Structure 1
Amino acid sequence: MMNSPDFSHTLPAALDFRQRLQAMLGLCCVLIMVALDQTVVGTAMPTVVADLRGFSLYAWVGTSYLLTSVITVPIFGKLGDDHGRKPFVLTAIVLFTGASMLCGLAQNMPQLVMARALQGVGGGMLVATTFACVPDLFPHTAERLRWQVMLSAAFGLANAIGPSLGGFLTEYLGWRWVFFVNLPVGVVSLWFVWRFLPVIRHSARPPSRLDWQGAALIALFLGSLQLAVEWLPQHKPPLLLGGLAVLSLSALLTLVWWEKRSPNPLLPPSMLSHRGLAPLFGLSLLMGFGMFAVMYYAPLMFQAGFGLSPNQAGLLVTPLVVFITIGSMLNGRIVQRLRHPTRLLALGLLMFALTAALLSRVGPATAHGLIIANMMMGGLGLGLLMPNLTIFVQQLAPRLQLGVATAMLQSTRMIGGMLGTALMGVVVSHQFQQRVGAMLADRQQAQWLHWLADPQTLLNPDILAQFRQAAAAAQPDALLAAARLLLVDAIHFSQWLVAVILLLGLWLARKVPPVELSGSAPSPVSVHD
């Protein structure tokens, strides 16, 4: 099938070292493509919204991707369990790469948001299938931990070059190359996966019917919730906002009712009530919330607030993502040696919460070395959180539901990211506009509110020049300096909120039961095509 190597119809252990290495190289290429896209886009976003003049849709560039991803992940997690994951990995690579090209060709913010939504479908398929391929190939925990070093290295490679590459491309070639860079990586990924990744199914039984009703309810719940959050600070009619809130709550209640009665639920209720899995899913939600809230609004603070270039902002963000990988690799060496490995979750959470809290204290005069050290600490904290959540979920989940459990973990992280970018976007916009209005009222210069209440004035050189010309007699540089400081204050407030919300995860970390990593759970008989 698809020129795949001929594998025996027995256990995954029948694959020799060379075959597993080639398969893992294919997965690494896929992970590099997805991670590279996520890291370069964040650094370029302030420049993108300044060029396309759509700050009101700033958060939607990220949340549209996350929204479609989070809907797609559980669907293809289930399809991968039933049909084998390779066909969906191949389809996802083609879709993700094509959508990246459309993002680079976008002429306005709505076009970019729609292309990112399509890209999110491909990204969700990749996330759902790539991570679940690892326990397929390596059912024994100790062996899986050793091989996951390759994925950590691939993730680290993309994260090491991503923010700086995003800043470099944006500053010297234009922001569109931030998306075009995915094209060659996608072609290489497609060849590796098509040639070397085997098709592994865990059952010889015919595939079960997909829970399309559950998928539709998930889309309705998350979509209406996202619209309500995005439109709240835009002073939309209260009746519209109330209707969206009612629709979201109704969809959630109906989803819970339906999944309890569905013969083949997309989100098995038993997993959500599982004593060990439920707190891990909650921690994943909080981690996604904090990670995306930091990675999307720290670059905005560095560029619009501090006046740094995209390249300089990328250099400040790079240590965070690089040290995620270093933390992951360090975690792989110590997690099996600890008597209580679940305590690493609390340690990682505390470190990242401290990073968010310290970000609320930095200013334009703060030494870049201190900002970098803070980002390093946050990266190490995430490096202790991210791999351990996956390891513990795959260890505690029923083996026949491994793909669904892994997909649910990724889904909760994406939901958290969606809520983090959207809710913190609401907070930052509201705080900034309120503070700018008060500042101009005190100076009796309210006529400049429509200029300074929009962060594009601080980011877009053309709009900045127009403002300086229009306000030439009103000391425009003093007004701009005050607006920059107020934007920094607004982002500071959002990061304090992130730190407090992350600390709530300590209660969840205490709820995770002891996990034994020295042994290995039995694996069901698998079919290789």
Structure 2
Amino acid sequence: MAVHTAPHHSKGQVLPFRESLLAMLGVSFVTMLVALDQTVVGTALPTIVAELKGFDLYAWVATSYLLTSVITVPIFGRLGDYYGRKPFVIASIALFTGASALCGAANSMVFLVFARGLQGIGGGMLVGTAFACIADLFPDSVVRLRWQVLMSSAFGIANAIGPSLGGFLTQYYGWRSAFYVNLPVGLLSLVFVWRYLPHMRHVEHKGRIRLDWPGALLIAISLSSLQLFVEWVAHDGFTPVVAALVMLSVASAFALLKWERASAQPILPLDMFRNASLAALFALSVLGGFTMFSLLFYAPLLLQGGFGLSPRDAGFVITPLVVFITIGSITNGRIVTRIRNPNSMLWIGFLLVAVACLGTVAATRNMPHALLMTFMVAGGLGLGFVLPNLTVFAQQTAGREHLGIATALLQSLRMIGGMFGTALTGTLVSLMYRHRVGGALQAANATPWLDQMRDPQILVNREAQQSLIAQLAHAGHDGAALLETAREALVASIHAGIAVAMAVALFAAWQCRRVPRVKITRAPEPAVASE
């Protein structure tokens, strides 16, 4: 494949306007694919688990995707630096779309968790390569911020229709359609990327490249054992197996550090973590992911299971959260290049996310939907201020040699935060809910029904509720009152979990002071393109 230097056009972009537009449309459709999946599945998830049964695996539907994504993002981010990103973007679209079809065909929670893990591999490849394509196309960060409006608009369209679409599809066509909707979007993104995205890579890696597979394996072992530790220690306590997992995670992380220091071409360049600005941005990415995913995955369960809303109505209430991520991102692009201290957008964003969490914690069944949606607007604006700035600040600081891996690590660390957020919030919700429901059933001498009511999905599945109420009434119990007690227990449990996310958002706002002041400069750097 021939390699040549691409000429610069129009202030810091490597292609003419028309070619830049078509290439960005390809990347935008990829973004839409991932965003649509997250929002549609998040709204449909309570119904999915209610039908397939197995609330114990509720968090794993999210965390299996996040775990495999976290592992693959830095691997393919680095490979994209070496070989160019286009081949990996194409492969990831095919894998993600195929795994979506498997998710839609799932007949058990275990199969669904496995399929979501496979889907996460494709999603990790997408995130690890597609986001860095924008910095390749637009080396000038000011120009890049303007072109990112197109990507943010695609993200916004997906987020705007995602929750409502997820609720509508789930209610009228079944939850499987929430996965099948990825198929046409995946095909469209594949056509655009294949045809219009240029194959670009950098001149620094001309010789034979030795892939750091030991480093990739150590990353996988360390993160997966850590994830299992978080899940199992809350459920089983500190058993010998759980102790072995944390020891394995620590040992593999130590071995990773030793190996990467000695590696000529490390998959994880450790010198990036010695950069004060990058280290602070990486930490904020973890904290932002914790809060964002906790809110995205447990607010729908609060609305459907706790407040009794239909999937469609719950999706309508959640929609402002994801729509205003885009509006906030577009607004941020207009503001951040014009203010003296761009860093201020980070702490404003985290404070707004904390306000959204506070509103969710204070939410009751009687709270007007307009007020609850206002809190969701604040959360969306906050995330719209935080997410693009973390990416642009990191790309600005890392330089072109580490552009792909820096972008990938930022996304990967956000997923790690989301992984722990959903796992810890899910564990807290499960433990509190079961304790309260168990106490209520014991007080009513209705403990034989504990197995049916210990799973909060009974509060989403209306057919199962009618059957349970009939059984309880036949035995002389007030089934409606016991179900209402269960709803109150679920609401209190989710409130506690989101309160933790609010504390994390406030801590992140305080930690923004650690980020050295970033200057958005106009200094294009040459790239290399191969056609």
Normalised to the residue count of structure 2, the TM-score between the two structures is 0.96
Cα distance, 1:12–1:82 mapped onto 2, change above 3 Å: farther
Matched with 2:349 is: 348
Give secondary structure in 1 for the equivalent of 2:304. Answer: helix
Instruction: State the aligned residue count.
Output: 524
Deviation (angstroms), 1:224? 1.1
Q: 1:73-114: per-residue Cα shift (whole Å, max 9, x none)?
A: 111101111111111111111111111101001111111111
Is the 8 Å Cα contact of residues 287 and 416 (structure 1) preserved in structure 2? yes
Q: Which amino acid aligns with 1:508?
A: Q
Q: Is the 8 A contact 1:280 1:508 kept in 2?
A: no
**Match of residue 510 from structure 2:** 507
Partner of 1:10: 6
Contact between 2:167 and 2:314, CA under 8 Å: does it hold in 1? yes
2: CA distance between counterparts of 1:236 and 1:513? 41
Counterpart in 2 of 1:497? Answer: 500
1:516 maps to 519
8 Å Cα contact 2:104-2:176 kept in structure 1: yes
Quick check: 1:135–1:144 contact (8 Å CA) kept in 2? yes
**Counterparts of 1:415-454 in structure 2 under 5 Å?**
415-454=416-455
> Identical aligned pairs, as a percentage?
53
Distance in 1 of aligned mates of 2:208 and 2:96: 26
**Structure 2 Cα separation of the partners of residues 351 and 247 of structure 1:** 38
Q: Shift of the alpha carbon at 1:231?
A: 2.2
Instruction: Determine helix, strand or coil for the equivalent of 1:360.
Output: helix
* 1:332-347 aligned within 5 A: 332-347=333-348
Which letter maps to 1:289? F
Per-residue CA distance 1:205-262 (angstroms, 9 max, x = gap): 1352221111111111111111122223433771111111221222222222222222
Structure 2 match to 1:367: 368
* Displacement of 1:524: 4.1
Q: Could you report, residue by residue, the CA deviation over 1:112-149 in whole angstroms, capped at 9, with x for unpaired residues?
A: 11111111111111111111000101111121111111
Task: State how 1:318-337 maps to structure 2 within 5 Å.
Answer: 318-337=319-338
After the TM superposition, which residues 358-397 of structure 1 pair with which residues of structure 2 at under 5 Å, given as runs?
Answer: 358-397=359-398
Q: Secondary structure at the match of 2:231?
A: helix
* CA–CA separation in structure 2 for the residues paired with 1:387 and 1:515: 14
CA drift at 1:354: 1.6
Name the counterpart of 1:527: 529
Contact 1:12–1:137 (CA<8 Å) still a contact in 2? no
Give me the whole-angstrom Cα distance separating, in 2, the residues matched to 1:496 and 1:346.
19
Aligned to 2:401, the other structure's residue is in SS state helix
Distance 1:97 1:211 in 2: 28
CA separation of 1:207 and 1:320: change in aligned 2, threshold 3 A: farther
The question of whether the paired residues in 2 share the 8 Å contact of 1:82 and 1:207 is answered with no
The DSSP-based 3-state class of the residue aligned with 1:400 is coil
Quote the Cα distance in structure 1 between the aligned partners of 2:197 and 2:455: 49
**Where does structure 2 lack aligned partners over 5 or more consecutive residues?**
none
Residue 95 (structure 2) aligns with: 95
Conserved in 2, the CA contact under 8 Å of 1:355 and 1:374? yes
Amino acid at match of 1:112: L
Counterpart check, 1:290 vs 2:291? yes
**Contact kept in structure 2, 1:11 and 1:526, CA below 8 Å:** no
- Work out the CA distance in 2 between the residues paired with 1:217 and 1:7: 33
- Does residue 223 in structure 1 map to residue 219 in structure 2? no
2:81 corresponding residue in structure 1: 81
| Alpha carbons of structure 1 residues 130 and 58: separation in structure 2 relative to 1, 3 Å | same
Distance 1:461 1:507 in 2: 44
Residue 8 of structure 1: CA displacement? Answer: 5.8
Give the distance between the partners of 1:99 and 1:371, measured in 2 at CA: 34
1:482 corresponds, among 485, 502, 514, to 485
Aligned to 1:213: 214
Tell which deviates more after alignment, 111-120 or 439-448.
439-448
Q: CA deviation at 1:433?
A: 0.9
Match of 1:121 in 2: 121
Structure 1, residues 263-292: CA drift from partner, whole Å, max 9, x if none? 222111111121110010111101111000
1:21 paired residue number: 21
CA contact (8 A) 2:235 2:427 kept: no
Matched with 2:410 is 409
> What is the match of residue 37 of structure 2?
37
Q: 1:201 to 1:12 in 2, by over 3 A?
A: farther
**Cross-structure match for 1:69:** 69
TM-score by length of 1: 0.96
Q: Kindly indicate whether the alpha-carbon contact (under 8 Å) linking 2:47 and 2:457 is maintained by their aligned counterparts in 1.
A: no
C-alpha RMSD of the superposition? 1.6
Q: Distance in 1 between matches of 2:215 and 2:447?
A: 50
| Aligned match of 2:111 | 111
Contact 1:229–1:426 at 8 Å: present in 2 too? no
Q: CA deviation at 1:381?
A: 0.5
Change (3 A) 1:8 1:44: same
SS of 2:336's equivalent? Answer: helix
| Aligned counterpart, 1:263 | 264
CA distance in 2: counterparts of 1:463 and 1:226, whole angstroms = 32
Asked whether the equivalents of residues 7 and 15 of structure 1 are also in contact (C-alpha less than 8 Å), the reply is no
C-alpha change, 1:395 and 1:166, in structure 2 (3 Å) is: same
Q: How far apart are the structure 1 equivalents of 2:527 and 2:187?
A: 33
SS at match of 1:326: helix
Supply the distance in 1 between the matched residues of 2:26 and 2:491 (Cα, whole angstroms): 42
Which deviates more, 431-440 or 104-113? 431-440
How many Å apart are 1:527 and its aligned residue? Answer: 3.3
The 1-side partners of 2:527 and 2:34 are apart by 31
